[in-house]
Amino acid sequence: MSFGGDSLEESFRPFVASGPTAAERVDAACRQAIVGKLACRDIAAWLRGAAINEPEFRLLWLLSGSGNGAAECSLDQADLAERLVVSPAQVSGAVERLRHLGLLERVQHERDRRRQLWRVTNTAGELLGQIVSQVACSYERREEAA
């Protein structure tokens, strides 16, 4: 099969001799899965008593720009699903719930009126700030106890 002259086999070789072995790739993926599960547990613990869950928090965090120091952004549900590595159906449910809680608002796309973009509200920003403060306090207490 050819795509623009190069065969798929020629252009994509994930296990070339100079790269990591298959076992090393599996080992790395397993370690990443463990780290991811531990991170989800941490986030869930930070959110105890909050009105949102871990996937909703990650969605708000992404839109707030807090994770990378960027400014707030507006994204559509397809972009959110891709960046959060979840299904569009999961994003749809989270968006509706967060909108109902007053944490997300719809924004009109500049050029395409059919696209619905979402951004965090001031209330969401305050909630995220409270969560970050709680995390900071819990780590300060841990350091003092150590």
**For range 103-126, the mean pLDDT:** 86
How confident is the prediction for the chain on average, in pLDDT? 83
Do 41 and 91 contact (CB within 8 A), yes or no?
A: no
pTM: 0.75
Backbone angles phi, psi at 51, to 5 degrees: -80, 0
Predicted confidence (pLDDT) per residue in 19-49, tens digit: 678 899 999 999 999 999 999 999 999 999 9
The number of residues in the chain equals 146
Q: How far apart are CA 46 and CA 135, in angstroms?
A: 6
**For range 88-115, the mean pLDDT:** 89
Q: Which domains does the chain have, with CATH numbers?
A: 47-145 (1.10.10.10)
Do 97 and 50 contact (CB within 8 A), yes or no?
A: no
In this predicted structure, which of 10-14, 25-29, 51-55 has the lowest mean pLDDT? 10-14
